[in-house]
């Protein structure tokens, strides 16, 4: 695996990186899971900018990404991407999850972010099967990094033991 990809376990709101990625929803106005944690820890600045984006473009589509400042987080930016809700796999969920990783990394590069932390997008409330999500996330990152030299480090911050084990296994295989 590309040496720029690292797997860790913990809370993404603590990461001192150029950008942390948020698994948001299409409204961009906050939710549960990692989204709730990021807004709680980051304070109102993030939501303020999300509201501005909503008034400009009406939220964020599944698979796409937007960027805001990171408020009180130790990170510099938050990239909000909207993962697909798992619906059995017949609604382009795999492509849409891949798009989340690709579009988040493109936006990171466009904003000169060299270090990026990702959560395991869609594997919480959105119920994407964890083994498949793990595989797709690594695949999308490797494909992106193959033609990029801006990103120096991607850290996949796993919150639960199962994702940590899956990602660690993929990293060493
Ligand atoms: P989704 O709606 O995309 O499924 P969730 O926030 O429910 O989003 O879950 C996405 C992943 O984020 C899950 O694997 C969940 O365990 C994880 N997660 C929840 N809180 C945190 C956190 N503070 N840091 C990192 N990952 C988190």
Read off the CATH number of the domain in which 78 is found: 3.40.220.10
Containing 170, the helix (H) or strand (E) segment is helix 161-172
Q: Whole domain around residue 142: which residue ranges?
A: 5-172
Question: Tokens for 132?
Answer: 């498949």
pLDDT of residue 171: 86
Could you give the CA distance from residue 145 to residue 148 in angstroms, rounded to a whole number?
Answer: 5
Residues 153 and 6: beta-carbon distance below 8 Å:
yes
Q: Which residues of the chain have pLDDT under 50?
A: none
Residues with a known catalytic role:
35
What pLDDT sits at residue 30? 87
State how far the alpha carbon of 127 is from the alpha carbons of 15, 32, 123, 153, in Å.
Answer: 25, 14, 5, 27
Q: In 3-state terms, what secondary structure has residue 39?
A: helix
81 lines ligand 1 (CB under 6 A): no
Question: Model pTM?
Answer: 0.98
| pLDDT given at position 45 | 97
**Could you tell me if the CB of 157 is within 6 A of ligand 1?**
yes
- Count how many domains the chain has: 1
């Amino acid at each position: 695996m590309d040496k720029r990809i690292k797997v860790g376990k913990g809370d993404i709101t603590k990461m001192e990186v150029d950008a942390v990625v948020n698994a948001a929803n299409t409204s961009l106005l906050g939710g549960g899971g990692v989204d709730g944690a990021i807004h709680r820890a980051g304070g109102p600045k993030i939501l303020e900018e999300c509201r501005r984006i909503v008034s400009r473009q009406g939220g964020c589509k599944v698979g796409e990404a937007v960027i805001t400042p990171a408020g009180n987080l130790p990170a510099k930016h938050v990239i909000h991407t909207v993962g697909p809700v798992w619906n059995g796999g017949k609604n382009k969920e795999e492509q849409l999850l891949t798009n989340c990783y690709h579009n988040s990394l493109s936006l990171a590069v466009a904003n000169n972010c060299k270090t990026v932390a990702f959560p395991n997008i869609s594997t919480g409330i959105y119920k994407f099967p964890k083994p498949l999500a793990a595989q797709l996330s690594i695949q999308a990152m490797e494909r992106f990094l193959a033609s990029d030299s801006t990103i120096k480090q991607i850290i996949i911050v796993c919150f639960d033991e199962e994702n940590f084990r899956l990602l660690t296994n993929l990293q060493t295989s």
